[in-house]
Structure 1
C-alpha cells in the first residue's frame, strides 16, 4: 500500500504520461536524497533506473515512495543569504550616514527649542 495520498498525481492519474520536467525534478530529488544519505547507492541506482524506464505516472510510485516532499515556496527575501557563510562576519556599515542623520536631528531639536523660547518671550 502506498503512503502517498490518493490526491497525489502518481495515484490519481496513474495512466498519465510522465512529463520530462517531472523526470528532471525527480532526478534532482533523488540526487539530493543520495547526497544527504537518506538513500543508499543501490536504492539510488534502482530508483534512477525505474525513473527513466517509467512511461506512466503510476510507475513512479516506487521512485517517490519515502522521498521528502519538494519545497514549494521560495525563501522570503528577509532571510535570503547575502552571500556569506554561516558565522562569517559581514562588512561594517558606513557610520557617516548615521552620524549625519543624528546630527541633523540634534540641530533640528535645538532650533525648535530656540524658536519656542523666542515665542514665549
Structure 2
C-alpha cells in the first residue's frame, strides 16, 4: 500500500551510526515492527550496540512523525523487553482521519524496491 511505503521511505531517512542503516521493517496488519539488522552491526566500534539502538530509535521517531503527518492515529511502543529483545519498536495503527488504515504484510529493509 502506498501509505505504508511512504511511511517507511520517510523512516529510513533517519541518521544512523556510520550510515549503517541497521534496521529492517516488518509490516503486519495493524503494526509496523522495526527490527535491528544485526548484519549491519559494528561490533568493533559499537560492542554494546549503543549506537545501533540509537539509530533504530531515530528511525522509529521518523516513522512516528511520518504517520502523524499523514493523519494516522498511531502510537509508538518502544521495545525491547528483557525476555524478547527484538523487535526494537513498533508503530501500531489506529483509525485515520479518512476512516481507517490497513497495512499489508511483508519485510522491508529500507527504501529498496520502492518507487
- Does 1 or 2 have the higher relative contact order (CA < 8 Å, sep 6+)? 2
The answer, yes or no, to whether TM exceeds 0.5 is no
TM-score, normalising length from structure 2? 0.30
More strand as a share of residues: 2
Q: TM-score under structure 1 normalisation?
A: 0.29
| Structure with greater proportional helix content | 1
